[in-house]
Chains A and B, each alone.
Chain A
Amino acid sequence: MLAVEARTRLGDLDLGAAFEVGDSECLALAGPSGAGKTSLLRVAAGLLRPSRGTVRCGSQTWLDTERGIDLPPDRRRVGFLFQDYALFGHLSAWRNVAYGIAGVTRAERRSRAHQLLERFGLADRADARPATLSGGERQRVALARAVAREPELLLLDEPLSALDASTRARSSRALTELIGDAGVPAVIVTHDFEEAALLADRIAVIAAGSVVQTGTATELAAAPGSTFVADLTGAVVMTGAARARGDLTVVELEGGGSVTSTDSATGPVAVTVHPWEISLEPEDSDQAGSARNRIDVRVTSVTTVGNRVRVGLMGPQPMVAELTTPGAAGLALSPGTRAVAAFKATATRLVAR
């Protein structure tokens, strides 16, 4: 169990945040760069001392500014994965891993390091220098090194951001397994909501130095507490004015058109919809009767990402729809095509502005 609370000024940023993470639980600190997420990680590790704050891990107090307690990083059992991995270039892979293992004979250290590398699939690269390893291999060595010490806390700074797309997928699976096996709290810092969704059990959105909203990925996506969170989760965000109509709410969008939502709100609102909840219909189709919002749009871009197709749209405001490849194929989409974007009122979220 990890409890962190920190209040300090970093340059222009006023950092003031608190969070808790249970054993075997993974919390992601998600947000844009400069929001203070890495600083919070460093506070937990002992690399940054806040003006006020506490860090408690398990039964130990690692930091308590009020009581003058501040354990240096080498006395806290953390496993820290740095964004650039920070591997020691003059040591081979297994020596890097062995660096943090203490209290055993040299032979034992060596064998444990090799075992760990084997577990990470790097047994044959044990003697290689970091400079000769690929990005993915270096990440795995850094991870092995971090857990070699059997830490009580895992701290991972942007663990996947330096990897290419194919490695990222493999790595995230391995990472999830690792965190589950370790049985200790884990905190991940990321600027990518999808990464957070993949790896973490809960996500704390950090903006401008404070926690803005906490929840599971689904909760955040389904009910973003602010346009910022909505934007972070990758939702389409449109602005307009809302008024009630019976059980529903009608929002007049800026730029023209209106949508209906099952949420209730009045006044200036942000309308958020997820791209995968938007379907496209040919321009002249007219299906009355379903409780769906329909907006006339023009296609601005068509991008294939993996097995999905992201379609950039321009209506009264910009939008993005995400379709399956077969689904998109049937529509003959290309920039300039006119279509209708349709999404359910139940999928339309409203956030007060």
Chain B
Amino acid sequence: MSRGAAFTGALVLALAVVLAFLTLPLVAIFLDVGPGDLVASLDDPGSVDALLLSVEVTAIALIVIVALGTPAAWLLATRSFPGRSVAITLVELPLVVPPAVAGIGLLAALGPQGLLGDALEQAGVELVFQTAGVVVALVFVASPFYVRQALAAFTALDPSLIEASRTLGAGDVRTFLRVALPGARAGLVAGGALAWGRALGEFGATLVFAGSLTGVTQTAPLAIYERFSADFTGALALSAVLVAASGAILLAVKPAGGSRVLGDARG
């Protein structure tokens, strides 16, 4: 009993340290600037542009990620094929690549002098210095967050549900749409939230690959960085808005996703 109490005490201490460490910088942002300054700074059209751009590009990136990542995760979850584990590792690779390196890689692949530079030029697709380039950078860095979660969610599905659907006359597509997707919904939503959060905060790859220009490629994080040296209050204000937005996203998906306490018996 005493061992148990000591163990619980250590656990609580660990959680307290983690919470304090994670929340302190965020709290400091809000405390360091008065609300009046905050609002005044947000009147700056550049800040508004940055926020709107961030919303736009992260939304588009998320749509692309979900549209491509969901079927990809389903394939990885339901079929075994030679090279499957390699494929999974490749999908996770951007997680361990520093964002600036990701940007360099994107330039080397999709820049004007890159591997696909000529092909893109002929197709009339311009990415560097364009908003489209920002979306590409976001998709690159954020998709592993979604695909991993989706893969885990699909893998965790009760196989007898899939089989039941098949015995009831539903083919592959119908089973995927009407049983697998709803069944995996919690994991998919969580993955989407993570990917969106990651995309919202993306900086290095965007800067290196797409550049920084107000209204075109300067997302909120890039705008914050630019303001840091000349207009610290503006940087704080924008940071506060970004933190609040990210927090709102996470809270918004809580009901849809939900998380259980281990051992909590619910139907």
B33 within 8 A of A: no
- Known contacts A47-B163, A72-B171, A149-B169; 11 additional CB pairs below 8 A are A72-B166, A73-B166, A74-B167, A74-B171, A86-B158, A90-B182, A90-B183, A91-B182, A100-B170, A130-B267, A131-B266
The A-contacting residues of B in range 178-222, CB under 8 angstroms, are 178-179, 182-183, 185
B75 within 8 A of A: no
Number of A residues with CB within 8 Å of any CB on chain B: 29
B248 within 8 A of A: no
Secondary structure at the A interface, as helix, strand, loop or mixed, is: loop
* B168 cross-chain contacts in A, Cβ below 8 A: 74, 99-100, 145, 149
Q: Measured between alpha carbons, how far is A274 from B147 in the docked complex, in Å?
A: 60
Q: Measured between alpha carbons, how far is A79 from B267 in the docked complex, in Å?
A: 25
Complex contact A86–B169 (CB within 8 A): no
Q: Measured between alpha carbons, how far is A91 from B170 in the docked complex, in Å?
A: 15
* A90 cross-chain contacts in B, Cβ below 8 A: 182-183, 185
Q: Total contacts A to B, CB within 8 angstroms?
A: 63
Complex contact A45–B267 (CB within 8 A): no
A132 within 8 A of B: yes
Q: What are 6 A-B residue pairs whose CB atoms fall within 8 Å in the complex?
A: A47-B163, A74-B169, A74-B170, A87-B164, A88-B183, A99-B168
A255 within 8 A of B: no
Q: Measured between alpha carbons, how far is A61 from B82 in the docked complex, in Å?
A: 32
Complex contact A82–B183 (CB within 8 A): no
Complex contact B160–A86 (CB within 8 A): yes
Complex: chain A residue closest to B183, CB-CB:
A90
* B170 cross-chain contacts in A, Cβ below 8 A: 74, 99-100
B161 within 8 A of A: yes
* B164 cross-chain contacts in A, Cβ below 8 A: 80, 82, 86-88
Q: Measured between alpha carbons, how far is A268 from B242 in the docked complex, in Å?
A: 85
Q: Measured between alpha carbons, how far is A79 from B166 in the docked complex, in Å?
A: 11
Pick the contact of B167 from A47, A87, A132 — CB < 8 Å?
Answer: A47
One digit per residue, 1 when the CB lies within 8 angstroms of any chain B CB and 0 when it does not, for chain A 71-98 equals 0111011111010101111110000000
Min CB gap B192→A, angstroms: 18
Q: Measured between alpha carbons, how far is A332 from B159 in the docked complex, in Å?
A: 53
Q: Measured between alpha carbons, how far is A80 from B162 in the docked complex, in Å?
A: 13
Complex contact A99–B165 (CB within 8 A): yes
Complex contact A74–B166 (CB within 8 A): yes
Complex contact A84–B267 (CB within 8 A): no
Pick the contact of A78 from B161, B167, B171, B266 — CB < 8 Å?
Answer: B167
Complex: chain B residue closest to A142, CB-CB:
B164
Q: Measured between alpha carbons, how far is A149 from B158 in the docked complex, in Å?
A: 22
* B166 cross-chain contacts in A, Cβ below 8 A: 46-47, 72-74
The answer to whether A132 and B267 touch (CB under 8 A), given A82-B164, A99-B165, is: yes
A102 within 8 A of B: yes
* A84 cross-chain contacts in B, Cβ below 8 A: 158, 160
Q: Measured between alpha carbons, how far is A73 from B170 in the docked complex, in Å?
A: 9
Q: Which 10 A-B pairs have the closest CB atoms?
A: A131-B267, A100-B168, A86-B164, A73-B166, A80-B167, A86-B160, A90-B182, A73-B167, A82-B160, A74-B169
The B-contacting residues of A in range 214-273, CB under 8 angstroms, are none
- Which residue of A86, A90, A149 has the most chain B CB atoms within 10 A of its CB atom? A86
